[in-house]
Amino acid sequence: MAFQVSREGDVLVVDVDGQLIVGNRQELKTRVLEELEKGDRKFLVDFTNTGYIDSSGLGVLVSLSKKIREQGGELRLSTLNEDLRTLFELTKLDTLFRIHDSRDEGLNGF
Amino acid sequence: MDRKLVFELPNDLGCIEGAVEFVLLRCEFCEEVSRRLRFNFRVSFVEALANAMLYGNAGDPSKRVRVEVLMGRHALEARVIDQGSGFDPDRLPDPTAPEQLHRPCGRGIFLMRKLMDEVHFNDQGNAVTLVLRFQEREALLREASA
């Protein structure tokens, strides 16, 4: 299982274990959209245990963020290591997401 | 001494992760290099394989992807070849342009070019070569550990 889903108050937290790439992005998308459908509006994707993300992984985050915003919600990201942060900066996606240094910081701001 | 790996993959996205690990396990480089291997090469190699399967071979399960990896003293080169008709890599929009930023796709080749030292396409556009060059110090360490 590449994703661990838990709840912190009214925030749905998704931990990405290992990698978020073309081979498993659909699993994340399906799971988050299911929770959005059920009524969740606050989502935090935490990358503490993530080794790498490819462009499909970035794409699924962009796509989910858009769908969540359309429903009046928000998708935030937290705990990106230096390499992952570089990916967001190179692609300028750091301007599209709220990126927090830690999971707690991400949760507190909601 | 240079080492070469050649293998073929079915056109199945589920094979990508295993193929990447297969190659990385055979790259016995020094710690200095390993961070770039672990991240820059890994992400770029995934991109190349995914592009070959999704776009080059258009998801056709009857097609295959050929991989040739050359592990040399000064560089690691990986060539990924699909069975498609090719495309023009110079006609892709800049994914960081404001009008492209919200698109869920179109960042793969951009990332390869940013993360690798060199990225080459053949004239047909159905083969991409990724090159990760080792710094001189890395090359010396690699030679010493051989």
CATH number, domain of A28, equals: 3.30.750.24
Residue B137 has pLDDT above 60, yes or no: no
Name the superfamily (CATH) of residues B3-145: Histidine kinase-like ATPase, C-terminal domain (3.30.565.10)
The count of domains in chain A is: 1
Question: Do the Cβ atoms of A70 and A37 come closer than 8 Å?
Answer: no
User: What average pLDDT does range A61-72 have in this prediction?
Assistant: 97
The CA distance from A74 to A69, in Å, is 6
Q: Which residues pair with B7 in a beta bridge?
A: B67
pLDDT of residue B31: 47
| % of chain B beyond a pLDDT of 70 | 88
Inter-chain residue contact A21 with B107, CB threshold 8 Å: no
Going from N- to C-terminal start, the domains of chain B cover: 3-145
Closest chain A residue by Cα to residue B35: A83
pLDDT of residue A45: 97
Is residue A109, in this structure, part of any structural domain at all?
A: no
Rounded to the nearest angstrom, the gap between the alpha carbon of residue B141 and the centroid of all alpha carbons in its chain is: 24
How sure is the predictor about B73, in pLDDT bands with cuts at 50, 70 and 90? confident
**C-beta pairs of B117-120 under 8 Å, 24+ apart in sequence:** B117/B75, B119/B44
Inter-chain residue contact A19 with B17, CB threshold 8 Å: yes
The CA distance from B113 to B79, in Å, is 14
DSSP string, A49-60: TEEEE-HHHHHH
The ipTM is 0.90
User: In chain B, what residues touch A93 (CB-CB under 8 Å)?
Assistant: 101
pLDDT of residue A109: 77
Distance from CA of A58 to the nearest CA of B (A): 7
